[in-house]
Structure 1
């Protein structure tokens, strides 16, 4: 029997791992039938499920195409039925799998799927197997081709797994439905936290630059806010394009060149990403554009491209760096100013909305230096600015801690799914159930007995299929001879 060839030893071990009582090892091919294929009729309307129809996060079929047969691609051939399990053979590491619901019964899927048609086993159990890390690693390890790595049908069919008795499969599937739904709910809530934190930061900025954050503090200090424009605060100057023929270099020449891709998160970043990696100019180039450098505490604001309006403060370690022509700087302050306070205003939603209006009314989607000079600025004395910066930094630090904890929790939840699946396939989720129902896992109800039933059913279906294809019997020689004598 197929199960014996995979169980390895009498104590039902595979790779040294003991199986619960009544279980045995099997391959996908032992418990399923191959899906049938056909070419849709020209005028036939059907739902076409291709790789793009699978929501990889939710593991469901989502918005398949509605096609007529004459419009169908040549890959639209595999007939799918309710309870079938779809496994994408292309880039199997992405785990595009789904359980076919009644809505898509008798529809057509791409030949890019292996369609598992479970026979006398619980489809939900087989579907859960295909979501496990062990399955993904096994299929991904067998991919063929470098450009579009793809597994083969035989890789899926040969996958070896622990098979419980049918009654236990159903219990496991129900437990997984409940537990994984709870995990998904928790995951969805955690994934919303970054957006909540983002809105919280914007609310803090709005309160800071409107004076609401320090309203009580101001009653004791008696400060008064003014409505100014940026030109009242400091000088607005542009960056500089590299001279024709000069190029950026990766070698640290001592002359860093700040590009637009680095002007993020309210500061200047330096990452391994090509757009935000720190590059440099030569001493010769520096001599040509030395008037376009920045000082610590200067404000930057991007003026072209998709990220127009990104703003922040030049940090200390970028003193004397050269600034891209795609950004402007606010420097040589005319009034006492905390750079961070002005940065909060530039990054606030209120000013960002004004900038977008300026861009739409301007030419070529560019924020001109003249328009920057005319942007409004709320201004208060340096003491209140200092207090605002202190409070904002305190609240932002609190938000950072919440975000870090949420990210750590989300990582744990992501790992929890695989942990639950692993426990399920070791029989740990149903240990108590087995103890209470020994009659449902032994004898004729064992997994080995189930495999025997599947094999018998497979043979029966093969005979029926063969009989259906058998041609009509030829007329007997006697009948033929009688006709000939007439």
Structure 2
């Protein structure tokens, strides 16, 4: 920063020139204290949020640094994450980890120094000299030798006040923006709920004459051994929704052929083919993650049975509860792809069954069914082929299935557009914080104030004079050397 053109009355200083050395001590046996470690810092809000309340008997070896109100804590561990905080009066006299560099400002404004540690220039400066590849940590000297523009004391206070006001507005905007993805998630869920209950197409249905769904079943025959499941009567507690008169409740086995995949490492004496296969991790709720699709050897005789074709509906067997029953449509993105034994595929028997409509239902209301009918423990749950086959589906006529899919995709595309705009806005807000800080440390926020208050930035009130006073104060504060006897 030595080549930066400074405003009138400013000068360049190092952190070590305007601060005192932090004292250290080991907590006494039986002493109760608040311990602030790296994990106690909320990196987003830049505050001490969750310190530990300890006794000296249980104090960790790193609990050594005595902190006071107005001190600035800078984490030396992974400094690029910028875990910094200003010590408030409720932590005055407590103990912090030696993993912090504790800046103890002397005769300068603590809020100004704290804002400085949030700046990208400071972060990049101490992160650029980190030590070690796996667990990078800055050194105390990296912080102490950091050069920065020092304004006169009166201007420091004005800058700190302006930053408080401006950054509070930025944080408020950021908080509102961060809430929108959750709102959109609830919106998508409500769209699916309305779609699979007939409410989304209620007005549309009044203008149409639709073929009865029952006519559909004369166009195909079930796969062998599935008839018993397909025609199993519904229990009263399985039908949890009222559907339009033109719709019909059916078992998934009545409208699709359901097949489990192949286990990795299955042994076979016959010729094998090395094929890509979908795992549980690839099958997400409402989309497929195909960034990493592995290959396994598969018996050639099983290829045709396991090969995925466009329109196949995929369902996860489970694992943790979030994975239970989630899935989406295969659209032949990868040639000759098969699926893992923990992924089921349901193949519609005819073109008058919309794969997307069935998957919409499975990803929304179907999840409750899987949780109720599947096997589950505290955080784990799974379904088997029989449970999936018995999944109740509220099936509309094909014309309405098509209209529902069109409307859902249109509304989801609208939500995706908003989400992208929110992400772009969040990026601009994050950049705005750094832009405001950069302007502050160039003196741009207080340009008019300086013009109106020339006496407060010159002569005895200049930063040069302040720095001389700090130097004299630091000399006075130094402990006297012991004279040898």
Compute the TM-score of the two structures, normalised by the length of structure 2.
0.87
Distance, in Å, in 2 between the alignment partners of 1:361 and 1:149 is 41
Aligned 8 A contact 2:46 2:84 in 1: yes
The corresponding residue for 1:119 is 106
Aligned 8 A contact 1:233 1:335 in 2: no
Q: Following superposition of structure 1 onto structure 2, how do residues 231-270 of structure 1 map, counting pairs within 5 Å?
A: 231-244=253-266, 255-270=275-290
2:358 is the alignment partner of 1:338: no
SS at structure 2 position matched to 1:66 = strand
Unmatched 5+ residue regions in structure 2? 211-245
Post-superposition shift, 1:262? Answer: 1.0
Post-superposition shift, 1:460? Answer: 2.4
SS at structure 2 position matched to 1:317 = coil
SS at structure 1 position matched to 2:169 = helix
The corresponding residue for 1:250 is none
Distance, in Å, in 1 between the alignment partners of 2:431 and 2:463 is 29
2:354 is the alignment partner of 1:354: no
Distance, in Å, in 2 between the alignment partners of 1:102 and 1:355 is 52
Distance, in Å, in 1 between the alignment partners of 2:377 and 2:347 is 24
Aligned 8 A contact 1:255 1:286 in 2: no
Go from structure 1 to structure 2 and tell me whether the alpha carbon gap of 1:210 and 1:292 turns closer, same or farther (over 3 Å shift): same
2:250 is the alignment partner of 1:228: yes
Go from structure 1 to structure 2 and tell me whether the alpha carbon gap of 1:343 and 1:111 turns closer, same or farther (over 3 Å shift): same
Aligned-CA RMSD value = 2.2
Go from structure 1 to structure 2 and tell me whether the alpha carbon gap of 1:147 and 1:219 turns closer, same or farther (over 3 Å shift): same
SS at structure 2 position matched to 1:305 = strand
Distance, in Å, in 2 between the alignment partners of 1:446 and 1:240 is 77
Aligned length: 443
Match of 2:52 among 65, 85, 92: 65
Match of 2:121 among 134, 137, 143: 134
Distance, in Å, in 1 between the alignment partners of 2:295 and 2:132 is 39
Aligned 8 A contact 1:90 1:151 in 2: yes
2:312 is the alignment partner of 1:298: yes
SS at structure 1 position matched to 2:345 = strand
Post-superposition shift, 1:148? Answer: 1.8
Distance, in Å, in 2 between the alignment partners of 1:362 and 1:381 is 38
Q: Following superposition of structure 1 onto structure 2, how do residues 368-407 of structure 1 map, counting pairs within 5 Å?
A: 368-407=384-423
2:8 is the alignment partner of 1:21: yes
Post-superposition shift, 1:365? Answer: 3.3
Distance, in Å, in 2 between the alignment partners of 1:270 and 1:90 is 35
Distance, in Å, in 2 between the alignment partners of 1:245 and 1:423 is 67
Post-superposition shift, 1:245? Answer: 5.8
Distance, in Å, in 2 between the alignment partners of 1:69 and 1:267 is 53
The corresponding residue for 1:434 is 450
Go from structure 1 to structure 2 and tell me whether the alpha carbon gap of 1:362 and 1:54 turns closer, same or farther (over 3 Å shift): closer
Distance, in Å, in 2 between the alignment partners of 1:100 and 1:229 is 62
Cα distance per residue 1:404-450 (max 9 Å; x no partner):
00000001101111111100000011101111111100000000010
Aligned 8 A contact 2:73 2:87 in 1: yes
The corresponding residue for 1:10 is none
Aligned 8 A contact 1:232 1:334 in 2: no
Compute the TM-score of the two structures, normalised by the length of structure 1.
0.87
Cα distance per residue 1:287-327 (max 9 Å; x no partner):
45442122110111000322121121111334642111011
Q: Following superposition of structure 1 onto structure 2, how do residues 275-294 of structure 1 map, counting pairs within 5 Å?
A: 277-282=292-297, 285-294=299-308
Unmatched 5+ residue regions in structure 1? 1-13, 247-252, 272-276, 475-486
The corresponding residue for 1:416 is 432
The corresponding residue for 1:158 is 145
Distance, in Å, in 2 between the alignment partners of 1:318 and 1:213 is 34
Distance, in Å, in 1 between the alignment partners of 2:14 and 2:377 is 66
SS at structure 1 position matched to 2:9 = coil
